[in-house]
Amino acid sequence: MNVNFEFATATRIIFGNNSVEKLPDIISLMGNNILLVTGRNTARAEKAVAKIRKRDCKVEIFSVGTEPTTKSIGEGINMARVKGCNVVVGFGGGSVIDSAKAIAAMVLNRGELEDYLEVIGQGKSLSEDPLPCIAVPTTSGTGAEVTKNAVIKSTEHKVKVSLRSNKMYPGVALIDPVLTHTMPPELTASTGVDALTHLLETFVSNQANPFIDLFCREGMERISTSLERAYKNGTDLQARENMALASMLGGMALANVKLGAVHGFAGPVGGMYPVAHGAVCACLLPAVMEVNIGAVKMRKLKEPLKRYDILARILTGDNMARAEDGIEWVKKLIEDINIPRLSEFGISRTDFPELLQKAKVSSSMKGNPVLLDDVELTTILEKSF
Ligand SMILES: [Fe+2]
């Protein structure tokens, strides 16, 4: 196999427990008029904000309640322009960081946000550089602090699409695992399986390469010992640290290698129903593994099967494990951390054909290790229902 890849990530990564203390110093190197994007609860960011204000910096707070929409991003861009902000900080989960990246990207670029979006727009390139952006994740799942896209929901088109550019990697990714200690168990579960899915899908992707494999192996191993522990005990220092690191590694992997069928379906499902991305990925993962492994065996594809065997060994810790053992391990994990079924999100079987059509043309589906036919894709939805 020829080795052929490109790799890019955030310009500077700072990782470690309590590293959030460094945020005021880092910001002051980048600008003095800050747009701080947070989630609904701004309390967690307040300590940092007070310290930043002491440095003679202005801080405007933009709170986002839901996953980013074209409307919410538009409001954020407007606020940054009106207040003359010169730095954007995203302090929160994946939605918050994606919002911060999209706002930073668009402040100096003219025209409508929609023009720059994939699928529903023309995917226009950013002509101006984004504002400096600092990403401070408070969940361990999306790895958005090291990716170059922002997932944005178009309520009009009922679809989630990306604003994507090589210019959108954050200038600084500041990852403090302690910030994730207060995540409730359900969020720990769904975001954690999202991170696992990023590592797993890029490891078996038809674009996999030996460089990204290193991240995938390391990340999957850490998740295998830590997700359930973090779910059961949110303040388990070691488990939270492992999950934060694995999430970052997953982000590095997905920014450089296409994902697969789980994310192929997760985009359309998230566009049509108000469900969290991580939860959707988590309930689809076992069925995608099962159908993919079956398809790979039927089509006698040796390389992806070998990769499914390897990941089964990493997850189970058993050197003799085979691909099927990986499915069983994931099924048990999903059960132990109480991931709901697809049917519990209000999805109906009558929507399957539309979901199928949307998933087939998604960017992530192009990374799936095997081209699945309509029957196989429907089986994934049926098994997850
Ligand atoms: Fe994801």
What dihedral angle (degrees, nearest 10) is formed by the CA atoms of 342, 347, 353, 355?
-70
Q: How many angstroms does the Cα of residue 236 sit away from the middle of ligand 1?
A: 24
Measured CA distances, 253 to 76, 198, 210, 283 (Å): 28, 7, 11, 21
* Per-residue model confidence (pLDDT) at position 1: 63
Q: How many angstroms does the Cα of residue 276 sit away from the middle of ligand 1?
A: 10
Strand partners, 61: 36
pLDDT digits (tens, 9 = 90+) for 128-143: 999 999 999 999 999 9
**Contact criterion met (CB below 8 Å) for 246 and 135:** no
Three-state secondary structure call for residue 254: helix
Same structural domain, 206 and 128 = no
Same structural domain, 60 and 188 = no
What is the domain-level CATH number for residue 56?
Answer: 3.40.50.1970
Give the C-alpha separation, 208 to 331, whole Å: 24
Q: Answer yes or no: is pLDDT of 15 > 80.
A: yes
Which two three-digit tokens encode residue 180?
């994730």
pLDDT digits (tens, 9 = 90+) for 273-295: 888 899 999 999 999 999 999 99
Host domain of residue 170:
12-179
Neighbour count for residue 196 (Cβ, 10 Å): 27
Give the C-alpha separation, 65 to 42, whole Å: 11
Q: How many angstroms does the Cα of residue 78 sit away from the middle of ligand 1?
A: 28
The predicted model gives 169-195 an average pLDDT of 97
Instruction: Identify the helix (H) or strand (E) that includes residue 151.
Output: strand 149-154
Give the C-alpha separation, 372 to 56, whole Å: 57
Same structural domain, 237 and 145 = no
Q: How many angstroms does the Cα of residue 355 sit away from the middle of ligand 1?
A: 17
Give the C-alpha separation, 279 to 277, whole Å: 6
* Per-residue model confidence (pLDDT) at position 271: 86
Q: How many angstroms does the Cα of residue 142 sit away from the middle of ligand 1?
A: 6
Q: How many angstroms does the Cα of residue 32 sit away from the middle of ligand 1?
A: 33
Same structural domain, 193 and 275 = yes
* Per-residue model confidence (pLDDT) at position 142: 96
What is the domain-level CATH number for residue 344?
Answer: 1.20.1090.10
Mean pLDDT of the chain: 95
pLDDT digits (tens, 9 = 90+) for 98-155: 999 999 999 999 999 999 998 788 889 999 999 999 999 999 999 999 999 999 998 7
